[in-house]
Amino acid sequence: MRFDKKRLAHIVFESDDPVSKKFDIILLIAILGSVLIAILDSVKDLHQAYGRIFYVLEWVVTALFTIEYGLRVWLSRRKLGYVFSFFGIVDLLAVLPTYLSIFILNTQLLVVVRALRFLRVLRVLKLGRYLRESQILAQALYNSRLKIMIFLGAVVTIILVMGTVMFLIEGPESGFTNIPMSMYWAIVTLTTVGYGDISPITPLGKMVASMIMLLGYAIIAVPTGIVTSEITVASRKREEELFSKRVCPTCHAERHDADAYHCKYCGTRL
Amino acid sequence: MRFDKKRLAHIVFESDDPVSKKFDIILLIAILGSVLIAILDSVKDLHQAYGRIFYVLEWVVTALFTIEYGLRVWLSRRKLGYVFSFFGIVDLLAVLPTYLSIFILNTQLLVVVRALRFLRVLRVLKLGRYLRESQILAQALYNSRLKIMIFLGAVVTIILVMGTVMFLIEGPESGFTNIPMSMYWAIVTLTTVGYGDISPITPLGKMVASMIMLLGYAIIAVPTGIVTSEITVASRKREEELFSKRVCPTCHAERHDADAYHCKYCGTRL
Amino acid sequence: MRFDKKRLAHIVFESDDPVSKKFDIILLIAILGSVLIAILDSVKDLHQAYGRIFYVLEWVVTALFTIEYGLRVWLSRRKLGYVFSFFGIVDLLAVLPTYLSIFILNTQLLVVVRALRFLRVLRVLKLGRYLRESQILAQALYNSRLKIMIFLGAVVTIILVMGTVMFLIEGPESGFTNIPMSMYWAIVTLTTVGYGDISPITPLGKMVASMIMLLGYAIIAVPTGIVTSEITVASRKREEELFSKRVCPTCHAERHDADAYHCKYCGTRL
Amino acid sequence: MRFDKKRLAHIVFESDDPVSKKFDIILLIAILGSVLIAILDSVKDLHQAYGRIFYVLEWVVTALFTIEYGLRVWLSRRKLGYVFSFFGIVDLLAVLPTYLSIFILNTQLLVVVRALRFLRVLRVLKLGRYLRESQILAQALYNSRLKIMIFLGAVVTIILVMGTVMFLIEGPESGFTNIPMSMYWAIVTLTTVGYGDISPITPLGKMVASMIMLLGYAIIAVPTGIVTSEITVASRKREEELFSKRVCPTCHAERHDADAYHCKYCGTRL
């Protein structure tokens, strides 16, 4: 088969036919693999035992990603458009760290950047069905952003006030050494995480703590309510769009089902 | 009363009359009993005190299940159909381990298989009302599978990135010995479990941890919202089905709206 | 004012006028007071310091409750009906323990019975508005009972299987001494309580634990979804009931607003 | 530009044009700054290192707030109306502590009052969009207040009864030294916080604890359901208001349904 740039571009950018789907899946495996290497390499024992192999694999994956990145730049119609797109930057961040590791010795820092590689998994969202669903979720979260910010504002206020109060009640000897520490405890408690590294000792402190717990236990209902209501609205909207918008010429009744041939109020042919 | 295979099959497979209901309930008791034995036998003291009794009961229950299994195979019209059905396999797994225990000495392994016996409790779902309700739930979860997978994807990304970040901030001396361990901590924190076996020590670490907690506290709203909205839709659908089941006298079309006065397909007065 | 049995009965049983409301409120204070005494008396220091006072107050409150109980029996039309009603039994349980304490020395046991006294607080539900709201909640919970039982069944199965699995992975040295203990840990983890008294040590155990946490974090969405949807339905039902059920004599359109004087489809006078 | 009191009042009290918006933003920064100082100053090391700077900044911020407070009093039409309004009091509380610190030496106490300063952040709610959203939330919470109080009543009853039961089962040696302590544990467990500072030791205690955990894990669904349903209703109401705002030409009645073709009050064709 003679070379065909259009076809290649299709394989790389789309995912609506077997070949391009296969390309995406291979890519996903490579991405997950590269992340796995980064994780395992951080385990001392594994690093000592297989560090060499990880090192090689690291470069293999990087090579693949470099080629892929090159392809994408070369194949995309608007080159800069891709380079400065979200995925363009993510793709670049996926290969840079390994090359930088030659010059920079602080590998620690690179591990983080390499972690960003995981963002490439988002490419899966390209796969049609996921895209629509995630748009609905995104829409719902976007619509409820104001409400959620108000909620977070309230939570922060509670944390600050309660943190200060507990600092005054418990004092340093219980581990509430200062307000920031006391606020950290308030967060740990309000979110019902409850490490137990710091916990109130005085009876009064325990009473206030109980109040915070019950508060945190109850107010979780608020963000949940906000998001739920938005998601319900979003999906209802989608449903209604499937509704026909036809109007009856005789009685002007609206909201006929999509499969209606006659007005359900007066029987006129639609 | 002379033997009647049809009747027996009805008792074993159905549960719509007193006798077959009684059969199901006896079966359930036997199942729960067998599970209880397995649990209690794992307690050292109880094993030493009553190990012998447990052993006998174990064989009694197994005998009962074997007979039941035999009956089901013998009575079912399509024998292989049953043997390879979900419940067919579960029923087999419920009796096998005890027999295997004669040959295999590693009883530990058998305990797990025996645990699968509990899946037999699902037989209760056969009981009509439960079946319909569980179908609604299953439907709701199935409809929201894409959204939930997207949510889990986001959670996994958060865990990986945050885990790596905390590994770099806290380092081994705080217990964040490597990225996997750090990710484990991230999961413990994000899900608000908060064992406290590992917890941040540095101020910066505590700040990032606080962010993760607030994040985990807030995003729980998303899956809840997804499932709630689906369940609401599902039950509304069911309600609507209870709506006008009227049939058009001319074209015999069904599913007319509650407020329809003419068939929406042919216009005939309903 | 001369004695009036009817009036007294009204004061005791109803709460729709100032006097009877006052009676209920005084009663509530007495109930809360008696509970408070029981609680404070359990604190060693307070018992040693004020035990005598608590003892006296205890008898005062009991005397009051006895009089009240007597009144209720005497005033209620169907005496046995009250005595064996829920509140009749609760009211009796509120006074019995103190009298029993003369004969029985194990005060511990009495403390529990006395705790039941708190159930009397439910009397507040008599106050109209609360009653209707709590009926809506009760209705919603009752409607979702099947779904919730299925959910609990699933949770129990997860706990049993996971508990057994962790028992085999971690073993006694990590604190997973037997299956019941391991199931206890599974509950602590799945419900995101996370005491940390037992927590996995082996890498594999940590992985399984992570799965359980994410599971527990996600499936909380199910009961929430169930209850939410039921409550929404319940309140929508109530709304619709406020809707008028009038039908237009000309076009037979239904669902006119409660404040409609003319059919909104054809304009006919309703 | 010559002085203009009206204009100044507008800048201070409104936030619907660039200048007044800028004023609000500068104010917010000052507020957040003052809070940050209070927090950092509570850290011993920072206090020793920068205590002097904090002290100065503290007075600078206080001076600014005093001027602002003065302006608001002077510019507001109904002076006392502002002074005794919620924000009027908050604004005063924001400046008082610093002045009091000259006479009172117990700075601790002042820290709390100073924390109230954070409430000024609520001023952001003035910014239109936030106001409407927060009203919807407030409305939803207000509508569900009865249901939530019933829920809290149930939770408190559970905590009291379970706390007493666990006190009797576990006893002092497990840390359940008295009923209040035992109730504290019950709250920590029911809200799924789970510090682990106190946890059951006896098998029976562990069983009861498991029940409490599952209960706490399940009943969180109730407040969530309540709030969600209210928020859904609230936003649906808002949607409907955006519905046909048509006015009847004859009787000038408003609020006709979107599907109305005749005025439902007088029957005139819309």
Minimal CA separation from B204 to chain A, in Å: 11
pLDDT score at A181: 92
User: Range with the lowest mean pLDDT among C6-20, C255-269, D194-208?
Assistant: C255-269
Touching chains, A (3+ CB pairs < 8 A): B, C, D
Touching chains, C (3+ CB pairs < 8 A): A, B, D
- Interface contact A11, partner B, CB < 8 A: no
Confidence bin at C3 (pLDDT 50/70/90): low
Exposure string of A194-217, with b = 16+ CB inside 10 Å and e = fewer, is bbbbbbbeeeebbebbbebbbbbb
Confidence bin at A218 (pLDDT 50/70/90): confident
Residue whose structure tokens are 């769009």: A241
| Record: contact A231-B232, CB cut-off 8 A | no
**Phi, psi torsion values for D257, nearest 5 degrees:** -60, 160
Give pLDDT tens digits for B68-86. Answer: 899 889 888 888 888 888 7
The closest CB to that of A221, out of D129, D136, D223, belongs to D223
Residues of chain B positioned with their CB less than 8 A from the CB of D195? 196
Give pLDDT tens digits for C109-148. Answer: 666 666 666 666 666 555 556 667 777 788 888 888 888 8
User: Range with the lowest mean pLDDT among A123-132, B167-176, D87-96, D116-125?
Assistant: A123-132
Beta strands in chain A (DSSP E): none
- Interface contact D244, partner C, CB < 8 A: no
Is C82 strand, coil or helix?
Answer: helix
List residues bridging with B269 in a β-sheet: B262
pLDDT score at D191: 92
Give C10: exposed, middle or buried? Use CB within 10 Å, 0-12, 13-18, 19+: middle
- Give the Å distances, CA to CA, from A170 to A181, A202, D93, D130: 12, 7, 24, 36
- Interface contact D235, partner B, CB < 8 A: no
Residues of chain B positioned with their CB less than 8 A from the CB of D196? 195-196
- Give the Å distances, CA to CA, from A95 to A24, A47, A64, B179, D56: 18, 21, 9, 20, 50
Give D164: exposed, middle or buried? Use CB within 10 Å, 0-12, 13-18, 19+: buried
pLDDT at A66 over 80: yes
Dihedral angle computed from the Cα positions of residues B10, B16, B17 and B20, in that order, rounded to the nearest 10 degrees: 50
- Give the Å distances, CA to CA, from B227 to A229, B151, C130, C192: 12, 12, 30, 19
pLDDT score at B204: 93
User: Range with the lowest mean pLDDT among C4-8, C72-76, C80-84, C222-226?
Assistant: C4-8
Residues of chain D positioned with their CB less than 8 A from the CB of C40? 180
pLDDT at B52 over 70: yes
Optimal mutation site among C148, C206, C215, C231, interface B, most CBs of chain B within 10 A = C206
pLDDT score at D172: 86
Higher pLDDT, B102 or B166: B166
pLDDT score at A108: 62
**Stretch 23-62 of chain D: residues touching chain C, C-beta under 8 Å:** none
For D28, the enclosing helix (H) or strand (E) is: helix D18-41
| Record: contact D228-C223, CB cut-off 8 A | no
pLDDT score at A139: 83
List residues bridging with B262 in a β-sheet: B269
| Record: contact C251-A228, CB cut-off 8 A | no
Touching chains, B (3+ CB pairs < 8 A): A, C, D
Give pLDDT tens digits for C158-179. Answer: 898 888 889 888 988 888 998 8
| Record: contact D228-C226, CB cut-off 8 A | no
Rounded to the nearest 10 degrees, the angle between the axes of helix C107-115 and helix C86-103 is 160
pLDDT at B222 over 80: yes
Confidence bin at A233 (pLDDT 50/70/90): confident
Going by C-alpha positions, the residue among D226, D178, D167 that lies closest to residue D200 is D167
The closest CB to that of A192, out of C192, C196, C265, belongs to C192
pLDDT score at D208: 93
- Interface contact B180, partner A, CB < 8 A: yes
Going by C-alpha positions, the residue among A187, A140, A183 that lies closest to residue A163 is A183
Q: Are A179 and A187 in contact (CB under 8 A)?
A: no
pLDDT score at C257: 58
DSSP 8-state class, residue A101:
H
Optimal mutation site among C195, C212, C250, interface D, most CBs of chain D within 10 A = C195
| Record: contact C196-B195, CB cut-off 8 A | yes
The closest CB to that of C265, out of A194, A228, A251, belongs to A251
Exposure string of B203-218, with b = 16+ CB inside 10 Å and e = fewer, is eebbebbbebbbbbbb
pLDDT score at D110: 66
- Both tokens assigned to D82: 């502002």
- Interface contact C255, partner B, CB < 8 A: yes
Give the count of beta carbons closer than 10 Å to the beta carbon of residue D26: 12
pLDDT score at A188: 94
Optimal mutation site among A231, A251, A255, A261, interface B, most CBs of chain B within 10 A = A231
Domains of chain C: 5-126 (1.20.120.350), 140-221 (1.10.287.70)
- The answer to pTM > 0.90 is no
CB pairs under 8 A between B and C: 141
pLDDT score at C196: 87
Residues of chain D positioned with their CB less than 8 A from the CB of C191? 192, 213-214, 216-217
- Give the Å distances, CA to CA, from B74 to B71, B123, C33, D208: 5, 19, 68, 44
Q: How far apart are CA C137 and CA C145, in angstroms?
A: 12
Longest CA span, chain B: 82
pLDDT score at B243: 52
The ipTM, to two decimals, is: 0.79
pLDDT score at B267: 67
User: Range with the lowest mean pLDDT among B28-37, B57-66, D72-81?
Assistant: B28-37
Please give the mean pLDDT across all residues of chain A. 81
Confidence bin at D114 (pLDDT 50/70/90): low
pLDDT score at A200: 92
For B83, the enclosing helix (H) or strand (E) is: helix B79-83
Mean pLDDT value across residues C85-93: 83
Minimal CA separation from B101 to chain C, in Å: 17
- Interface contact A109, partner B, CB < 8 A: yes
Mean pLDDT value across residues B178-183: 90
pLDDT score at B205: 93
List residues bridging with A262 in a β-sheet: A269
The closest CB to that of B225, out of A39, A195, A227, belongs to A227
- Both tokens assigned to A198: 């710091």
> Which amino acid, residue D52?
R
